[in-house]
Chain A
């Protein structure tokens, strides 16, 4: 049965090591919003993070948002939600290792590299519900926008109050809920095909390439 945790950021290693798969977390405090173009600028093009940006100990969200400045305040226009984390797989092990973030929030899961980094350095992956921006962004405010020239791909400093539910889907001990699910599906694959009336599934990919059989 899932346990429920209310955690304040920054998070300690102990905070995240105690979390188990499918535990439910609500976060209060600072979080960073990151995504494709700001990760590319920093990690592919080597541009140092802007002054004031430091992920160490904090959760980072694979974020997607529409916002504008209203006087001195940042306000959401089309809202703020999550985005598909697998797109960021190439970069995230480095964010865990070099920048010491303690939680990655997003949707859809992450792969081996991030799972291993989470285990080694003490970080978790939290799945949030995609498309539910109108719920989640009621629990978040934008404090500052870094690299604003990237517009919707900028880095966001966020302040959270009871941001959740966030579901632990990769823990800090090498367990990946998506991989577990997938292993389970593999044991039932023939049954699944049979339900659609496929009795002799082909072992090969569906596309027939013009290459000699190896």
Chain B
């Protein structure tokens, strides 16, 4: 039985709204524990207001941040499912477009040269949709990241060379965080990609933001790198909104891929504290469950 495309559209529509209004539980946990650890009174005041703002957003049924972002979607499709991929993509785009226009949100999408407003939240090559597969499953999982511009503008990529080694990679990440300062609405999450190619390293850095914040990379060497970078980044003291404090990022998530023997690519995609993500699992019978990460526990 092919997947019901109406359900995909409706789920994408709902997911966009959920990403904007419902805060991921792993980030709320981080926010609360960072608040507890903080001794700087100005930073403490920031944490109090961030928590209050999440509650207020829920009360008012309004997005936490007014920037409804640019959407990136990842689809993992079970190999035992039947579907027309084009129809799934169309349904997702339609769902995003509908949520934005029905709610009369700020239309943020423009032509890159003329800067003219497109007039809706979808357009040429947007939203970005990535495909992957789940062996032997009869369901489809989707994750959506709706990143605001303050953090997306703090994205960095370098095609380093092997001579610069892993030290060069680490230094590039630290230098980039220092360049970003308070502009990405810290404290947030650092998504890092290492290896691959020019395009895939950027994708890895963004995909790293989907991983739950209480996990480490399964490769112990990479997990150690995550810990080291976290300590170094927080030692900058950039703190909440760049005004100073102990926590600049809650977590560094690193994803990697093999690369060419003559290449050493690295990318950093910073994410703000208002980490807007949402996910869903759609079964072939049309049943929908919401998830917080790929393979995550279903709720509602």
Contacts and interface: CB of A to CB of B under 8 A. Distances in A.
A65 B178 contact: no
B66 A133 contact: yes
B286 interface: no
B160 interface: yes
A24 B161 contact: no
A202 B57 CA distance: 45
A43 B64 CA distance: 32
Interface in B3-27: 20
A184 B243 CA distance: 12
Interface stretch (A12-20, A113-121, A155-163, A187-195): A187-195
Interface residues of B, number: 66
Given A81-B67, A206-B171, A185 B182 contact: no
B182 A107 contact: yes
Contacts of B66: 64-66, 76, 78-81, 133, 137
A130 B241 contact: yes
A138 B274 CA distance: 18
Contacts of B175: 206
Contacts, number: 196
Given A81-B66, A108-B150, A196 B232 contact: yes
Interface stretch (B86-94, B98-106, B199-207): B98-106
B49 A83 contact: no
A22 B185 CA distance: 17
Contacts of A148: none
Interface stretch (A47-55, A90-98, A174-182): A174-182
Count class of interface residues, chain A: 35 or more
Nearest to B188: A131
A198 interface: yes
Contacts of B182: 107-109, 127, 178
A165 B49 contact: yes
A118 to B, nearest CB: 17
Nearest to B158: A206
Contacts of A84: 149-150, 153, 183
B291 interface: no
Given A66-B104, A109-B182, A109-B242, 20 more contacts: A66-B66, A78-B20, A107-B185, A108-B242, A127-B242, A129-B49, A132-B65, A151-B107, A151-B117, A152-B106, A167-B42, A177-B244, A181-B242, A182-B181, A185-B236, A192-B232, A192-B236, A196-B174, A196-B228, A196-B229
30 contacts: A37-B115, A76-B62, A76-B66, A77-B104, A78-B66, A78-B67, A79-B62, A81-B67, A83-B149, A107-B241, A108-B181, A108-B182, A108-B242, A127-B243, A129-B241, A131-B50, A131-B185, A131-B272, A133-B57, A151-B117, A182-B181, A184-B237, A185-B178, A192-B235, A196-B174, A197-B170, A199-B167, A201-B171, A202-B171, A206-B171
Interface of B: 20, 41-42, 45-46, 49-50, 52-54, 56-57, 60, 62-68, 103-108, 115, 117, 148-150, 153, 158-161, 164, 167-168, 170-175, 178, 181-183, 185, 228-229, 231-232, 235-238, 240-244, 272-274
